[in-house]
Amino acid sequence: MAYKPWVTKYQIQILAEVPLLDFLERKDFFSAIHDKLSSVGRANFVAIGSSATSSMGEDYYSQNFHDINHYQKALDKNKLPTLRGLKLNQRNNTRQHVAVRFKLNLY
């Protein structure tokens, strides 16, 4: 924890109330999170931000505009800022599954 003289008393109070996890507790904590996220598969979500990707189950995928001007114009028109979208076939599902597993294993 960084030493900041103006919040030291507050930091000490927090540590007294809720002690920090030790190494093994942190390892178990992050392992449980990783296992939970890895087992979920794909969830429905609408992404926010330029070039963000949305997913609706295992059937649909979309990507927002990369360019912030196009993104903003779509929002100004009360539309989703979707650049492209597609209905996934079996090959797309396999590619997306491999990409997600690859990303999860990097962290």
Q: Does 52 fall in a domain?
A: yes
The pTM of the full predicted model, rounded to 2 decimals, is 0.52
Scanning the structure block, which residue is given the tokens 């599902």? 93
Q: Does 2 fall in a domain?
A: no
Say if residues 57 and 64 touch (Cβ distance below 8 Å).
no
Q: Does 20 fall in a domain?
A: no
Residue 49 CB partners (closer than 8 Å, separation 6+): 64
pLDDT in tens, 36-84: 766 656 667 788 888 888 888 778 888 999 998 999 999 999 998 999 9
> What is the pLDDT at residue 47?
81
Say if residues 65 and 81 touch (Cβ distance below 8 Å).
yes
Tokens standing for residue 4:
């900041």
Q: Does 12 fall in a domain?
A: no
Max mean pLDDT among 19-23, 25-29, 77-81, 97-101 falls in: 77-81
Number of domains making up the chain:
1
Q: Does 10 fall in a domain?
A: no
Range(s) of the domain holding residue 47: 40-107
Q: Does 45 fall in a domain?
A: yes
Q: Does 4 fall in a domain?
A: no
